Copies of this chain bind each other. A is one copy, B any other.
């Protein structure tokens, strides 16, 4: 569904938040291992997440990644827009430039509600809401 960057970012951030909720501050080695993603690539992606202001990092011994609790929660939509852009969230399934109720593509009527559901989902859910739902062992967050 999503591209690798989005997937790794999503899993990393949810993992970090999940650990933060237990007063832990994971580092990339741990994160990459737990979410089963390549470590160096995960490090690079998390670097971008830090630059985007989505999460904070602390260097040196005892360092790691930590969310700023005073900031508002991060919606999946914000994350997706930052990693792979709006393509998956807007535009018509048929790839038409001008596709609306008056000038619909052949998929318009069936596809609209699906796209709307996706948009609703990613606007409502946040890294934090997902982390709160993750109460079982995180090791199951294994990529396909």
Is B144 within 8 A of A105, CB to CB? no
Stretch with Cβ within 8 A of B (4 or more), from A20-28, A45-53, A55-63, A88-96: A88-96
B140/A93 in contact, CB under 8 A: no
Total copies of this chain within the assembly: 2
B103 near A140: Cβ-Cβ < 8 Å:
yes
Residues of chain A at interface, number, CB under 8 A: 40
Find out whether the CB atom of A87 lies under 8 angstroms from the CB atom of B140: no
Query: Which residue from B97, B117, B129 sits with its C-beta under 8 Å from A117?
Result: B117
Beta-carbon contact of A143 and B95 below 8 Å: yes
Q: Report if A98-B142 is in contact (Cβ < 8 Å); known contacts: A88-B1, A117-B117, A125-B110.
A: yes
Q: A114-B114, A130-B107 are in contact. Are A143 and B97 (CB under 8 A)?
A: yes
